[in-house]
A and B are shown apart, each in its own frame.
Chain A
């Protein structure tokens, strides 16, 4: 086993018994399988740490491993669970049994509730003009009315590559890159060399004076750097946004390409993190990944709850006082407007700017009368339409650095 060899291969760690090295390698692999990024270097440090603590004391071993493997706070539970299983197997003297011990664990997958009927091939339904599982009961009941269904219908919207032209995508990418720059660019407090105006930089002025025999002919200057945009997009993928789903898709796609540092989330009845699925690659693959990432495409809306989830789980780590948050939603919410307002307020407090783009605002008859929208409006810095490229373009001049 390669990993075991490598863990044992480092001097100073050699006196660690082979079974313990096995145990560490198993633990590392199990952690990686659960999405806790543990590297070989962490395992080596862990092995080193184990040589320094009382290996008979289970609690001490667990603490030492947690510290040396740099397990982040949110992953503590996963770590404790895996440690328990693997340590027990190890103490019983059968490290080889560990993988079996792990696989005995019931499969957990929060997105897929158990008891789901086996999936059938999707078909085009001419009546509802949707692609769906026509035989499944419940689908036809869901009419045109937007709203949320308590059980997220695990319908996956098929993304067809032919739906938009390549040209459109390219134009979109270009526009979004400009938009993001305009939205989130700011002057950092860090000083960088500049040719123009700025504060005198004595250090490089002296260095430059060397060229002219110690005579300082010109002053070098530094000015505040322009920072990379930090931007978080929250896209509403609920049924009421269906008419612009095509726009949304290309929006998310182009965003991933144009502004790689942007974080993208999608929400309907629950929140999903889209950024990982937007990684560069084949378009078809990206679309599949997105379809898999959003469990309830065109389902109901619970903006308040989704934004609350964002506030709880992601806001502290993915947004700070330099970030600009953009919500793209129609504000048609079936949830409690109070909760929505509270979530929007909390986001606003933590970030630099909060922008709400509403696709319905393009319709001249539309008034932002929806309760959710009303509740959120006081905390929004910019409220602007976004139903096509043109509307986004019109937004640009209004946003200053």
Chain B
């Protein structure tokens, strides 16, 4: 699988979704818990297609000026002042105007850059789209359906190559139906044991085989508990890295308790998982990982 070559372990659902999104030329909406690899998917896709990744991080209050384009007012102003000082008879005011509202004075923001890239279609990652407000979502709809933008002073700019769009959402709010309908939908689950072990192995090949297996089992057991924020793959990888720096080749209850902060990022979760419980989880993980 090509994705795997780039260090991304994909299950069949992810592979199918990526294939269909490319083949059908449709945006892909990716949802799932934090840390399951939604953003990573877009990054890997860009590497795989050997193209640029253009990222738009959404936040509340994101507006068209920050996302699409803006005129470079200070420079326009400067140009005006300079021309005022010059000889009035020699210049045509229409000329000046055309110059002022040309591409030179246009600041391209991510969305505009994504549709004007001349060489090859980039991957456009619209990250955490659920954080933007409804107004911005409606604007995205327009862009995603036609891939064209109208700038009053310049006219309509059509995409030279429609970008491959990946939207991610953490489901902090329900996205509008209209946006959902424009996209293909992928839900990434927490990885299975086998997949998780493969992910750790791919990312940290120098980790001990035994440690990799134990970490995988421990994480699977930990996720079965009712946690406010279940650890994702990102946390697994961080933790493995931490254990490696501490020169561990197997899980020890004391070390696990000390490094639990790599996995559980919520005070309540840290309190509920007591040291004795860690000990039992560790011993079970070690037993299960025995060859």
Contacts of A188 in B (CB 8 A): 60-61, 133
By size class, the interface of chain A is 20 to 34
Cα of A317 to Cα of B12 in the assembled complex, Å: 27
Contact B183 A70 (CB under 8 A): yes
The A interface is mostly helix, strand or loop, or mixed, namely helix
Contact B63 A190 (CB under 8 A): yes
| Cβ of B135 under 8 Å from chain A | yes
| Cβ of A68 under 8 Å from chain B | yes
| Cβ of A73 under 8 Å from chain B | yes
| Cβ of A45 under 8 Å from chain B | yes
| Cβ of B185 under 8 Å from chain A | yes
Known contacts A45-B26, A64-B20; A191 and B181 CB within 8 A of each other: no
Q: Which segment, of B39-47, B171-179, B214-222, B252-260, faces chain A?
A: B171-179
| Cβ of B17 under 8 Å from chain A | yes
Contact B73 A320 (CB under 8 A): no
Contacts of B187 in A (CB 8 A): 72-73, 76
Q: Which of A347-368 contact B (CB under 8 A)?
A: none
**Which chain A residue has the least Cβ–Cβ distance from B174?**
A317
Other 19 A-B pairs with CB < 8 A, given A202-B73, A203-B71: A42-B181, A45-B184, A48-B24, A49-B184, A53-B20, A60-B16, A63-B13, A64-B20, A67-B13, A67-B20, A67-B185, A68-B20, A68-B24, A70-B180, A70-B181, A206-B73, A317-B173, A320-B173, A321-B172
| Cβ of B244 under 8 Å from chain A | no
Cα of A318 to Cα of B187 in the assembled complex, Å: 19
B: number of interface residues (CB 8 Å): 34
Q: Which of A259-277 contact B (CB under 8 A)?
A: none
Q: A246: shortest Cβ distance to chain B, in Å?
A: 33
Q: B60: shortest Cβ distance to chain A, in Å?
A: 5
Contact A64 B61 (CB under 8 A): no
Cα of A202 to Cα of B70 in the assembled complex, Å: 10
Interface residues of chain A, those whose CB is within 8 Å of chain B, are: 37, 39, 41-42, 45, 48-49, 52-53, 59-60, 63-64, 66-68, 70-73, 76, 188-191, 202-203, 206, 316-318, 320-321, 346
Cα of A80 to Cα of B90 in the assembled complex, Å: 75
The B interface is mostly helix, strand or loop, or mixed, namely mixed
18 contacts between A and B (CB under 8 A): A45-B184, A60-B16, A63-B17, A64-B16, A67-B13, A67-B17, A67-B184, A67-B186, A70-B29, A73-B31, A188-B60, A188-B133, A189-B60, A189-B61, A191-B63, A203-B65, A320-B172, A321-B172
Q: A308: shortest Cβ distance to chain B, in Å?
A: 11
Looking at A67, A316, A317, the one whose CB has the most chain B CB atoms below 10 A away is: A67
Contact A63 B16 (CB under 8 A): yes
Contacts of A318 in B (CB 8 A): 174
Q: A348: shortest Cβ distance to chain B, in Å?
A: 12
Contact B63 A41 (CB under 8 A): no
Contact A60 B24 (CB under 8 A): no
Contact A41 B20 (CB under 8 A): no
